[in-house]
Amino acid sequence: MPRGGALPRAAGAPDTGTAKPDGLYNRPMKTAKPAATADQATLAASAPHHEPEQIHLGHGNSQEAALTLAEEYCRERGEKLTPIRRKVLELLLNSGRATKAYSLLDDMRQIHPGSAPPTVYRALDFLLSAGLVHRIESINAFTVCHDLTQCQHGILVVCQQCGNVTELHQPKLRQALVAQIEDAGYRLASDEIELKGLCSACQAAEAASAGAATPVAAAK
């Protein structure tokens, strides 16, 4: 199996359109909530301002609580978190970091031996469109979105070594970056901006490794 994150279609399986990375995972993610109508916008403007309740997946919530929140969220959208979709989301929650599609398929086959690549792709397609997960372009992997009410975080900081992802909700910073990008004559290919880096845990491991190697080098 290729190790770049793309899964081959099972022999004889129909082309559902979900196993085409260029078409499926490069399109803009749907917003989490439908746009308000003009009447709703008028009522909202005249009503007292309240901060929206934040719904977090993976930040202090148990896995079961997070899955329950995801099911309720899908129900509110008129959609269903089927057992397969739920299992893929559960695997991503278990991982705690960005995970490649082929790894998800391997995990699914440990539970359901007959799982085929399109099964995982269809589940990921749904989770992406619902705003429950992000696709991390720089490492071709997927991670759970930690905030369902603000799934368009705009800026993702990705550890290139371990796949840990931190979501930054900084609208003003993102707007400033987008303005500079457009002034330079470019248009963003995605709604999100990815920043590559090395997380604190990997920095510590790297420093410890370098420190252990120094006495050995000095002794030679």
Residue pair 144/132 in contact by the 8 Å Cβ criterion: yes
User: 151 labelled as ligand-binding?
Assistant: no
3-state secondary structure of 216: helix
pTM of the model: 0.65
Structure-block tokens of residue 182:
């457009």
pLDDT in tens, the chain (220 residues): 444 444 444 444 444 443 333 333 333 333 343 333 444 444 334 333 333 334 455 544 588 888 999 999 999 999 999 999 999 999 999 998 999 999 999 999 999 998 999 999 999 999 999 989 999 988 999 999 877 655 556 789 999 999 899 888 888 998 999 999 999 999 988 778 899 999 999 999 999 999 887 765 555 5
Residue 74 in marked binding region: no
CA distance 133 to 92: 9
49 is known to lie in a ligand binding site = no
Contact 58, 146 (CB under 8 A): yes
Enumerate domains of the chain plus CATH numbers.
54-219 (1.10.10.10)
Task: Say how far apart CA 51 and CA 150 lie, in whole Å.
Answer: 12
φ, ψ of residue 133 to 5 degrees: the values are: -135, 160
- Is 162 marked as binding a ligand? yes
**Side-chain half-sphere CA neighbours of 31 within 13 A:** 4
- Do 146 and 59 contact (CB within 8 A), yes or no? yes
